Structure 1
Amino acid sequence: MTVNMIRYCAVTVILLISNCDGFRRAFDHDLYKNVLDPEICQKQLDILSNTNLGLLFLDASGKIPNGIASSNLNDLGDYYQCLGIDTHVNGTNIKGKYSAVLIPLNQEIQIPQLPPIPEIPELPEIPGLPNITLPPLPTELIKNHQDYSNLQRWAQIMAVGDDRVVVEKQDVNTRIFPMFIAAQGRAMLGICVPRVCTSTETVNYFQSRIPFLNFTFIEHYYRLPDDRPFAPADYVAFVIFSIIGVLTISSTSYDLYNVFGVKRRPNKMFTSFSVFTNTKRFLTFNSSPGALECVDGIRAISMMWVVVGHTYSMTLLGFVHNIQEVLGWMRLFTSTWVNSAPLTVDTFFLLSGILAVYSTIGKIGKRRFVRTVHLFYINRLLRMFPLLAIVILLQASVFNYVSDGPFWQNMAHATENCRRYWWSALLYVQNYVNPLETCLAHTWYLSVDTQLYIFSPLILFWLFGSRKFAWAALCCILLLSLVSSSAYSFIHDFSAALVQPNRIAEFADYMQTYYINTLARAPPFFVGMIYGYILHLYRGKKVKISRGVVTALFCMAFALMSFCVFSIYPVMQLDWTYQTFDNFLNAYMRSLWSLSLGWIIFACVHGYGGPVNWFLSLSMWKLPARLSYAMYLIHLPIIMIANSSWTQTYFFRNGHVLYRFVSDLTLTFIAAFILCILIDAPFSTLQKLLMGGGRARPQANNMKPESQPSIVEKTTL
């Protein structure tokens, strides 16, 4: 009773802390208020207006943006120069404070009446002087910028609605991720002001002296050098990472001493955190009968497609300098492979369904499965938990201090989401509890996949019996999932493209109602269960299919997959209006993709893959496939850290973004390897010891501890 009370109180305190606004904020907003002093501000502004120090503040501030003809209306100034100002003048300490302001474009600037110009004699014509006329203002300039601002509304899925960002109240479709412009038709400038002043006080001071500077603006956010205070998450991170560090050093030392010193076999428990043993075991690949070797290649390639998709999306929808070029590039045929990257999610759903069946049916009996179904859940959750919890902790704490810049609002908001909603991420309910403020935005997939995995025993139960009941159960659940997906698609009339320029205002509703909705995304998982059952039926058997049928099925599979990829191209065009086709794609495209990819897996497993199976089964895919779960978790924070560290707007070039992809992929690979060696491998060993992995286990417990989401699940049985 006492233990339960302690647990209850601890959980209650943690939940209260995580939902307390003061504890979850990444920036110290009270500091921004406490440093203000109107009297000292007036004194310091007088000093700036009468000394050269004012030029330093002006130099660190944004001016008229360059690239206006390309729809760039942002100039962020010099962030680090501004925060680096710290000088004593006339007995007062003047420090810089960075302020971002939003300037509406549709405002009138009143230029004061100037005295008449005295008449002067007409000058003679100068021979050879060209007749210079100013070009007319491009009529598409404002329209192009507004179109691009519409694109930036995608970030409403992580929008904020409190007073941390001083913007006027807007509905859910106009609330913007902090790093982006807060609304259409506004330019963003970074201005450097004294620490004790607000941007309003500073601008008003100089407007009173320069009458034609009478523009209106909105204070967006402030930044100071010391505005990221320690939070409870930081202390938790310090304790946990310290413990892991001590265990790693101790375990590695013990392991090396036994292996190279006294030359005796060390205890498995004591070497569970050994870097030496874990690295050696992690880099050892053994093939066993029944292994789905081709799945390693599919998983690795899909993971790279995920990284390239997020590299492009996080770059294009940031502060891009050449906006018109970006709009044009997104509608090119050559960019279709990037726009179709969301199909990789359905690949993982397919693999998850396949392995849920293939790793269970035929390994234990029906009665034992029912009696030990709790192991079916426990093994998966225990395998997923360590890496997910560590990356959540990194996002809630460490990543907030890695870098800085005028766009760090992006990373700060991600930090606040994890400080507030870490519990829903660990419970895999984010897609319903906090769909617009997810902790680790890309982990909505884990929520959907886990919910489907929890549901799957209701179908697996029938697969232990006769084939008639098995096929009836599989066909019924697939039909129901297709009906559900079709209903969501044809009732809500969403775009088939994740980011369609003309329909970006629907994005928040699209994400909540369809994209991260388990009922709408379920069909590929159940297609995977059907293929898993087929693979089980023919496990270890010779399947005879004529060469003509194999060729026809491969042609059909590649044709359907090509259709799924390239059908996004017409949808991305600005004049696209065929809603019925959008609905068809949303309802059935992902199932067709899974159906085609499932045939390729089946053909490769049973010797009909030819060069496809050779390529997908290459040994070079084994390590990336083994790292894929960690890569999936860590890749987006790495991309966000890089993009949030920008100091100016980004000039888009396709080749440079591809270079960024290689950089992001490399850093992701390295970080994932470290996480697997220090976190995943130790806890995997402990789990096996806990589940009796150190001795022969009874058949009832023969559910693999590797039962994880398809991104990380091992394919050997």
Structure 2
Amino acid sequence: MKRSHIWILFLLVEVNSCFSFNFEPPRISFDYEDFAYKFTTSDFKGEIEEFVSEKCLGDLTTFVERLLNPIGSLEPGSGGRWPLKMWDAMGKYPTDGFFTQGNFISPGSPSSCVEVEAIFDTASSKGQFAGKYCYVTMLSVNQSSSTMPILDDVLRERHTRGLNLISPSGAAFLNVPEARALLGGGLGKFGICLPDSCSFPDIENLLGLYSLTLSSLDELFIMSPQNCIENQSDKAFETGDILFLIIISIFLALVALGTLYDWIHRWQKDTSLAPTDNWIVGFSLQYNCSKLFRVTEASRGEDHLSCLDGIRFLSMSWVLLSHAYSSCLGLPLKNMFHVGDEFVEPFLFRTILNGYVCVDSFFVLSGVLTAYLTFKELDRNEGWMNVPLFYIHRYIRLTGVYAMMIFFSATVYKYLDIGPLNNVEFEVQMCKDVWYSNLLYYNIFVFEQGFCLGHTWFLTNDFYFFLLSPLLTIPMWWITKKSKRIWALVYPLIWLAIFTIIIAVLAYAKDWPLSSLVDFMDYDYQSESYIKPWCRCQPYILGLMVGYLVHTTKKQNLRISWPLSYWLWIASTGIALSIIWGVNVHEVWQTGVTPTLVASVFFNAFSRIGWALALGWLIFACCRGQAGSFWINSFLTWEGFVPLSRLTYCIFLCHCTVIPVMLSFFTHHIYVTHFFVTLIILAAFTISLMVAIFMCLVIEMPLLNSEKLFFSWIFSLRKTSL
């Protein structure tokens, strides 16, 4: 192998440390002759030539040769400084504070890298190139002393089987879902500067091959590019990008036309609008703004459950808060060792660590509203409902703006001025590859293929629950018609008991952890429990029961005695707080002592039931004015929550894009504090709210207005024909 090829790998990776989880001192330097001999006597040369493109390898060779043997002047403006600029843009190891503060991230200078323009004699090389910055994750595992047994199993199994880690389609091992998940939270990360002629698969293969040379059966070393950025000024739009811009331009044109048309009619005080006119006005910014921000009692509707507005918005804020905190801990932190003491250990921070229960809050709210509106429809039609229309409306309600968000993520998202720490390449490719599984709502069953907008697993679950809800609500209505209310509640309780037994059996058979954070490396728990509908349906079923009780007691002056009411408040508050604060994840991480299997089974089977019961009592007490609910209900029904509640769905869709984009620009080291994270949360909330308003006014509300007019027109034609 040529000496330049050896230096390519050494200079790209600049691995001045190969560390393991027990924090042994890194190997700070290499013997270059020994390093060269190591590669010369291996099959590495053939593998490089086979799996790295000729143009990429040629440009890399030129870079190394010019760096080691500068040609011409290195003065500014001479054109000979680009190799030094590329080298200077790379992250260096070990960083300051490596041992004392836990500073394992060295991002380098992305802006300097993408500014590089290689100028050299094209007659003796492969041609000119620009700089391409890649953010690389690296992980070293000492098999004999690692405290991560699941990681050991994943790596050791593939190593001992003699699995070919490199394949023509790329670094096969690095594409294994378990490895991808592990690398996303890898211990060390650094930036490298490469020629833009090297594609993402080229870089994956190069780093994967180099990883093998550092690995043994006792110590496995993994490197993988997390994200790459380059100067996009000369990149042409793809067909999908152009199509997205055309579609969003059509929406904006219709909004402008509808706003102008609406303004003219208001100015002329003309209230007689034809159906076509109504459709155009449905895109009006003025009309939709008045609907979005209207907070009068009439705008809420006669049967509006006002307390749900506050609960919905506060639950969304909790989700955003948790995601912002977890994302901030992935920045280049100078004080990683202190994060445990300052963030994770304090008692109140368990509200963030165990914040996954806020997802169950949304399932409860969805069940309450579905049941309440369904029973109202069944009362109006004597037990009959248009089930196909019921499903179609729900699909359009969820999918219209959702589809545009997916379309954006698969196309023009990559052209935004995104910093290097955002894994945009992977996100864009996932949305290109598996978008249909999102729109058809089966993405949670092809988890191993990857996720587009990973947080939308919730929508898939909610959609399935909605599809199956008539199997509970219609029989409950007929049981109520024929017998007492109590028997109507027994029917969903049977379903609840069945799913609780299923969860308990699975938790016992598969040895699931107490929660996802107790063992965040448990891939099976994430894919088989956390996102699967049969493990998440309990809160929805209880929500249906609460919605049924709220509906059936609407015309009754039901008053629970104040002693019983206050005992229910105490019990529900105690249950909720024990679920949030009762699990000490930090202690498990520190001691390595996990809860017993019995405790894990019990918590998996009953924790979501407990949370749903606590929230269900809050909703019922506020909706029916039970003792002790006055001050709470007054807060939850505050008028300001009404428009914020209407924007919750769009905030949910966009916030997991907004937060990474914001944080990706932090390429320098940060000393993280609660105050810093608070500023990030406020900024993320503000930007997400602005994006949500745009999505709501330009896409969501016009589509819903069009759907409403379309079905009104269909039913009017049907009545005319009859």
Q: 1:76 aligns with which of 107, 114, 119?
A: 107
| Partner residue, 2:285 | 275
| Partner residue, 1:497 | 515
1:554 lines up with 2:574 in the alignment: no
Q: 1:526 aligns with which of 528, 541, 550?
A: 541
Counterparts of residues 185-224 of structure 1 (less than 5 Å): 187-193=188-194, 220=225, 223-224=229-230
CA distance in 2, matches of 1:78, 1:683: 44
Q: 2:496 aligns with which of 478, 496, 510?
A: 478
1:217 to 1:43, Cα distance in 2 relative to 1, 3 A: farther
- Number of residue-to-residue matches in the alignment: 607
| Partner residue, 2:86 | 57
* CA positional deviation for 1:674: 1.2
1:396 lines up with 2:418 in the alignment: no
User: Secondary structure of the equivalent of 2:112?
Assistant: helix
Structure 2 counterpart of 1:499, one-letter code:
L
Q: 1:422 aligns with which of 435, 441, 450?
A: 435
1:679 lines up with 2:699 in the alignment: yes
| Partner residue, 2:559 | 544
Q: 2:673 aligns with which of 646, 653, 664?
A: 653
CA distance in 2, matches of 1:552, 1:37: 76
Q: 1:363 aligns with which of 360, 369, 377?
A: 377
Asked if 1 retains the 8 angstrom alpha-carbon contact of 2:345 and 2:586, the reply is no
* CA positional deviation for 1:257: 2.0
Deviation per CA, 1:233-290, whole angstroms, max 9, x where unpaired?
3132122112112211211122222222575555311211111111112212324333
For structure 2, the 5+ residue unaligned runs are: 1-50, 75-80, 156-164, 208-220
Deviation per CA, 1:620-651, whole angstroms, max 9, x where unpaired?
21111111111111111111212333324544
| Partner residue, 2:15 | none
Q: Which structure is higher in helix share?
A: 2
* CA positional deviation for 1:293: 1.0
Structure 1 counterpart of 2:260, one-letter code:
S
* CA positional deviation for 1:590: 1.0
| Partner residue, 2:231 | 225
Counterparts of residues 240-639 of structure 1 (less than 5 Å): 240-260=247-267, 265-266=272-273, 267-285=277-295, 286-328=299-341, 329-365=343-379, 370=384, 372-408=386-422, 410-434=423-447, 437-467=450-480, 468=483, 470-500=488-518, 503-506=519-522, 508-569=523-584, 572-574=587-589, 575=591, 576-579=593-596, 580-608=598-626, 609-639=629-659
CA distance in 2, matches of 1:442, 1:425: 11
1:218 to 1:314, Cα distance in 2 relative to 1, 3 A: closer
Structure 1 counterpart of 2:620, one-letter code:
F
| TM-score normalized with structure 1 length | 0.77
* CA positional deviation for 1:302: 0.4
Q: How large is the Cα RMSD of the aligned pairs?
A: 3.6
Asked if 1 retains the 8 angstrom alpha-carbon contact of 2:136 and 2:191, the reply is yes
Structure 1 counterpart of 2:89, one-letter code:
A
* CA positional deviation for 1:407: 2.2
Counterparts of residues 83-122 of structure 1 (less than 5 Å): 83-86=114-117, 88=119, 95-99=130-134
Ranked by relative contact order (alpha carbons within 8 Å, sequence separation 6 or more), the top structure is: 1
User: Secondary structure of the equivalent of 1:359?
Assistant: helix
Asked if 2 retains the 8 angstrom alpha-carbon contact of 1:44 and 1:194, the reply is no
1:535 to 1:472, Cα distance in 2 relative to 1, 3 A: same
CA distance in 2, matches of 1:236, 1:589: 46
CA distance in 1, matches of 2:69, 2:107: 24
Asked if 1 retains the 8 angstrom alpha-carbon contact of 2:332 and 2:667, the reply is no
Deviation per CA, 1:117-173, whole angstroms, max 9, x where unpaired?
xxxxxxxxxxxxxxxxxxxxxxxxx989x89x99xx9xxxxxx99878758558643
Asked if 2 retains the 8 angstrom alpha-carbon contact of 1:84 and 1:96, the reply is yes
* CA positional deviation for 1:50: 7.0
1:174 lines up with 2:185 in the alignment: no
Structure 1 counterpart of 2:353, one-letter code:
N
1:33 to 1:376, Cα distance in 2 relative to 1, 3 A: farther
User: Secondary structure of the equivalent of 2:193?
Assistant: strand
Structure 1 counterpart of 2:696, one-letter code:
C
Q: 1:644 aligns with which of 658, 664, 667?
A: 664
1:195 to 1:431, Cα distance in 2 relative to 1, 3 A: closer
Asked if 2 retains the 8 angstrom alpha-carbon contact of 1:331 and 1:573, the reply is no
Structure 2 counterpart of 1:71, one-letter code:
G
After TM superposition, the structure 1 stretch with the greater mean CA deviation from structure 2, 231-240 or 583-592, is 231-240
1:37 lines up with 2:58 in the alignment: yes
Asked if 2 retains the 8 angstrom alpha-carbon contact of 1:94 and 1:194, the reply is yes
CA distance in 1, matches of 2:66, 2:636: 67
* CA positional deviation for 1:617: 0.9
Asked if 1 retains the 8 angstrom alpha-carbon contact of 2:114 and 2:231, the reply is yes
1:321 to 1:462, Cα distance in 2 relative to 1, 3 A: same
| Partner residue, 1:669 | 689
Structure 2 counterpart of 1:303, one-letter code:
M
CA distance in 2, matches of 1:316, 1:162: 34
User: Secondary structure of the equivalent of 1:278?
Assistant: helix
* CA positional deviation for 1:570: 5.2
Structure 2 counterpart of 1:486, one-letter code:
A
CA distance in 1, matches of 2:383, 2:453: 34
| Partner residue, 1:123 | none
For structure 1, the 5+ residue unaligned runs are: 1-29, 108-141, 154-159, 203-215, 700-717
Structure 2 counterpart of 1:492, one-letter code:
K
Asked if 2 retains the 8 angstrom alpha-carbon contact of 1:337 and 1:565, the reply is yes
1:67 lines up with 2:97 in the alignment: yes
* CA positional deviation for 1:487: 2.1
Asked if 1 retains the 8 angstrom alpha-carbon contact of 2:375 and 2:477, the reply is yes
Asked if 2 retains the 8 angstrom alpha-carbon contact of 1:630 and 1:676, the reply is yes
User: Secondary structure of the equivalent of 1:190?
Assistant: strand
CA distance in 2, matches of 1:697, 1:581: 60
CA distance in 2, matches of 1:44, 1:289: 76
1:161 to 1:565, Cα distance in 2 relative to 1, 3 A: farther
* CA positional deviation for 1:291: 2.2
1:462 to 1:666, Cα distance in 2 relative to 1, 3 A: same
CA distance in 1, matches of 2:292, 2:520: 44
CA distance in 2, matches of 1:494, 1:545: 40
| TM-score normalized with structure 2 length | 0.76
Structure 2 counterpart of 1:594, one-letter code:
A
Asked if 1 retains the 8 angstrom alpha-carbon contact of 2:67 and 2:84, the reply is no
